[in-house]
Amino acid sequence: MNSEIADNLKHRDLNWLSFNARVLQEAQDKKFNPLFERMKFLAIYSSNLDEYFRVRVSQLRQIKRVEKSIRKKLALRPNKTVKEIIARVKEQQEIFGAIFNNKIKPELAANHIVLVASEEYTEVQKQIANVWYVSHLKNIVNPFLFNPATESEIFLENQSLYFCVTFSDSKKIGFVKLPTDTNDRFVELGKQDDTYSITFLDDIIRHEIATIFDSQSIDGVYEIKLSRDAELYIDDELDGILAERIYKSLEQRQEGQPTRLLYDASMPKTVAKKLRKLLKLGKIDMMPGGRYHNFNDFFKFPDPTNNKNLHYEDKPVIKHKALENATNYFDAIRSKDHLVHFPFMSFNYVERFVEQAANDKDVTHIKISLYRVADESALTTSLLKAIENGKLVTIFIEAKARFDEENNITWGRKFEEKGARVIYSYPRIKVHSKILMVERTENDKSKRYAYIGTGNFNGDTSKIYCDHGLFTANNKIAKELSRVFEVLEGKLIVPRNKHLLISPFTTRRTFEKLIHSEIEAAQAGKTAKITAKMNSLEDKDIIELLYKASQAGVQIRLIIRGFTCLIPGVKGLSENIYITSIIDRYLEHGRIYLFHNSGDEQMYIGSADWMTRNLDRRIEVLVPIYDENLFTELKDIFALQLNDNCKARIQDAEEQNLYVEKLDGEAEIRSQYAIYDYLKSKN
């Protein structure tokens, strides 16, 4: 087995690289992904890797600071892990470069789009570049010189691109920050015949570098990018105090510990060594790359040809047969439960529900948990309208949602100013649940309406994340959800519940009980099955229980998009566990758990993965699917994902990321597209 495997568990950070390798596979898939979509997968890979170094690799670096004797007792070997990470990333970066240079660029050229480097500019393009530089960049480009002989430290902003410039007549080093935060990364240089020329903003500055350092003899120009630790090391405090401290501490991200320097591999070793010492980096923190960095900018790569064949075809949203024309959502939800599926359906159904609640004279309360608050949207507008209309609005905002802290706290303040009751993070716990409750007076009694989802209340991400949400007026579920909100409001310590799974109170215990029931069924010679879909699988106790279930003969079928610490398919350990991962046009984000339960199947959807943090350290909510029609609908959708033979990769012990093969005579199933067709036929 691989060196990373210990105690029958894979290292989560190493296995995560297998997930990002699957993203890289999508950048190579010409059969299903048009050219511009493959470029976006390069952007996703790059963006993922940046966050990985800022968070996960940073954490390993922090572990290195722990006393060696303590690390030994805890079996922590961060140096070894980081070295293996760097080795794998370098391999992937080589593949990345080959895809871009040998596949993407030639195919762009074949479609009359040419990426032009500064050295290749024609006389006309030089003139265009110069005019663009003078009008857009000259006044904001601020070069500076650094003398390693007299200065021992240099500060580079986190994630910003710089040119590192060397001179033939000076030992000084020049630096130029590339202003990609205020300018488009790509500049069109005009059309000749039927071909459009596009250049990087980087190359326009590179072309003008002699005028920027006009008194120096330039020897070399090398692009670099520094990543810094993304964590905010703040002791948890109560309620708004914690939010305030987080807000004030966001600048720490710009000043955090350097974790990786990505640099042009053509840079002389002597220069790279100087940079490493100036930035106080270790050798393993130095990552050679290509001429350009920040490939996440390829999300915005222009298509001057407007060629539809270079992009995914549009998929019009499916209209929910019950909710689309419902003038009163309360009547529709009271009559029966409803499922919505994103991005196949519009998030507008959730927004319209909140809008109706905001304007309904009989609604008294609206309560919602927001993990990643969208910028101004129909949802936030409706919540503000509800406050204006005198509703009692309670909003729980997670102040510690990584990279969204500032936006979340800003919106929290807006809601507070308007009169909402805003509750921020719990000490030492995150609120990750996707829950909404509306209370309405009907026949002189209070009636509760609930929405429980697998994804955030964010209209933008709902267009690219595959998620599910349940609208229900089921009294038992709604009553238990009201107890969850009472916990968030500090009115309850432990919520009583028989139906919902609520972390950190009952989710682990219930899942363990359900797995044990399948083990007992298998030992009794009965059919025993566990089928589950999640983003990540990491919890050691759950994994050990799944191993026991496999050894007892339980058939376990998992779909895990991201990393897994479980090793499937090992004889005597996990031979009855089969795992696939689906990476496609949309980001798989839904969590579905299905247990055979001796023929009386039980299914849950919600916000929790089988990770220790989701089971023990976060407020999570999963809801059972009781409506028979919705149960069948979700099970049908799940079956399409389980049978995907176009975009599913097998997760095996060797991490080969082999595609699931379509057998002879078998229909081609690309699950995301098959689900779209299925929902379209039903609605």
Q: Is residue 363 part of a domain?
A: yes
Q: Is residue 320 part of a domain?
A: no
Domain-ending residue, one of 477, 494, 511: 494
**What is the per-residue pLDDT across 379-412, written as a single tens digit (0 to 9) for each?**
999 999 999 999 999 988 876 545 456 777 778 7
Give the Cβ contact number of residue 69 at 10 Å: 8
> Do 292 and 415 lie in a common domain?
no
**Which of 179-188, 288-297, 369-378, 551-560 is most confident?**
551-560
What is the DSSP code string of 114-135? Answer: EE--GGG--HHHHHHHHHHIII
Give the Cβ contact number of residue 201 at 10 Å: 21
> Do 99 and 248 lie in a common domain?
yes
**What is the per-residue pLDDT across 608-632, written as a single tens digit (0 to 9) for each?**
999 999 999 889 999 999 999 999 9
Q: Is residue 663 part of a domain?
A: yes
**What is the per-residue pLDDT across 418-438, written as a single tens digit (0 to 9) for each?**
999 988 876 667 788 999 999
Known binding-site residue numbers for Mg(2+) = 372, 402
The whole model's pTM is what? 0.90
Q: 316 is written with which tokens? A: 């019009």
**What is the per-residue pLDDT across 195-221, written as a single tens digit (0 to 9) for each?**
999 999 999 999 999 999 987 889 999
* Alpha helix ranges (H) inside 462-605: 475-488, 507-523, 540-552
| Separation CA 302–CA 185 (nearest Å) | 10
Domain-ending residue, one of 461, 494, 527: 494
**What is the per-residue pLDDT across 546-597, written as a single tens digit (0 to 9) for each?**
999 999 999 999 999 999 999 999 999 999 999 999 999 999 999 999 999 9
Q: Is residue 51 part of a domain?
A: yes
Amino acid symbol at 264: D
Q: Which residues have C-beta within 8 Å of that of residue 68, sequence separation ≥ 6? A: none
> Do 485 and 610 lie in a common domain?
no
Binned at pLDDT 50, 70 and 90, residue 86 comes out as: confident
> Do 519 and 601 lie in a common domain?
yes
Rounded mean pLDDT, 116-145: 94
Closest CA to 562 of 11, 21, 107, 16: 16
* Cα end-to-end distance, the chain, whole Å: 48
For residue 646, what pLDDT is reported? 97
Rounded mean pLDDT, 656-683: 95
Rounded mean pLDDT, 240-245: 51
For residue 372, what pLDDT is reported? 73
> Do 295 and 335 lie in a common domain?
no
> Do 512 and 461 lie in a common domain?
no
> Do 53 and 188 lie in a common domain?
yes
Q: What share of the chain is helix, strand, coil (3-state, %, to 5)?
A: 40, 25, 35
For residue 595, what pLDDT is reported? 98
Tell me which residue has tokens 């499916």: 318
| Separation CA 459–CA 461 (nearest Å) | 6
> Do 395 and 450 lie in a common domain?
yes
> Do 90 and 150 lie in a common domain?
yes
Q: Is residue 608 part of a domain?
A: yes
Checking if the pLDDT of 238 tops 50, the result is no
**What is the per-residue pLDDT across 643-666, written as a single tens digit (0 to 9) for each?**
999 999 999 999 999 999 988 889
Known binding-site residue numbers for ATP = 48, 465, 561, 589
Q: Is residue 318 part of a domain?
A: no
Domain-ending residue, one of 282, 310, 338: 310
> Do 49 and 79 lie in a common domain?
yes
Q: Is residue 457 part of a domain?
A: yes
Q: Is residue 317 part of a domain?
A: no
Enumerate helices (H) and strands (E) in the chain, giving the number of each.
22, 27
> Do 508 and 448 lie in a common domain?
no
Catalytic residue set: 432
| Separation CA 375–CA 75 (nearest Å) | 43
Kindly report the average pLDDT of the chain as a whole number. Answer: 89
Residue 425 sits in a domain whose CATH number is 3.30.870.10
Q: Are strands 435-442 and 430-431 parallel, antiparallel or unpaired?
A: unpaired
Question: Structural domain tally of the chain?
Answer: 3
> Do 267 and 213 lie in a common domain?
yes
Residue 118 sits in a domain whose CATH number is 3.30.1840.10
Known binding-site residue numbers = 48, 372, 402, 465, 561, 589
What domain range includes position 362? 329-494
